[in-house]
Amino acid sequence: MRILLTAFGPFDIFLSNPSELLAKALSEEFGCRYSVLPVVFGKARAALISVLEEEGPDLVISFGLNGNISHIALEQIAVNIAYSEIPDNEGIVREASSIDPEGPLAYRSMLPLERVLPLLRKAGIPSRYSFSAGTYICNEVFYTLMQYCERTGVRGGFIHIPMASHLISGNPKLLNGPHMALEQILSAGRIVLSECLR
């Protein structure tokens, strides 16, 4: 089975992105490919489409950082809306608009989240379903991925992770924010990927 993982690099006040560390570690452990997407409206969508067409995967799991949570968020719904008051990495602030003017309002994840959630909780990893991946670039990637999955029959979905504890130590802006130990994040990633492969 051809597996593709995607992640993001640094953005905004987050000088390091644990989603990149997670995707890299899982790719080495499971022998799959991973791609780090740009945190730029439009370019993230284009980069994802390019890597999907190049790799032709059977399973795609996209990971992104949500700096406001301290749990694993199993994203259920991708919406056809792009909006942000926070600039992307090229300084773009996006007014509310459609990701694809001809696309449906929303897609639902194709990952077996109903099996993943109890496994995460049994392992002692704080986790929950999320029914909004926001309207920033994570959602743009999620929506784009689900469009591709619907068209091709590939299975895919999106998981939000919290900031890794060790990455906040040198960043005063993040010291009071939520976080999770990297090993726990990695354990969650292993559970998600293993269950998707079952």
Catalytic residues: 75, 138, 160
Please count the helices (runs of H) and the strands (runs of E) in the chain.
Answer: 5, 8
- Between CA 106 and CA 66, with CA 47 as vertex, the angle to 5 degrees is 60
Q: How many CB atoms lie within 10 A of CB 170?
A: 10
109 and 146 Cβ atoms separated by less than 8 Å: yes
**Beta bridge partner(s), residue 11:** 14
142 and 196 Cβ atoms separated by less than 8 Å: no
Task: Looking at 153-180, list the stretches that DSSP marks H as alpha helix, in order from N- to C-terminal side.
Answer: none
How many Å apart are CA 184 and CA 72, to the nearest integer? 10
How many Å apart are CA 75 and CA 181, to the nearest integer? 21
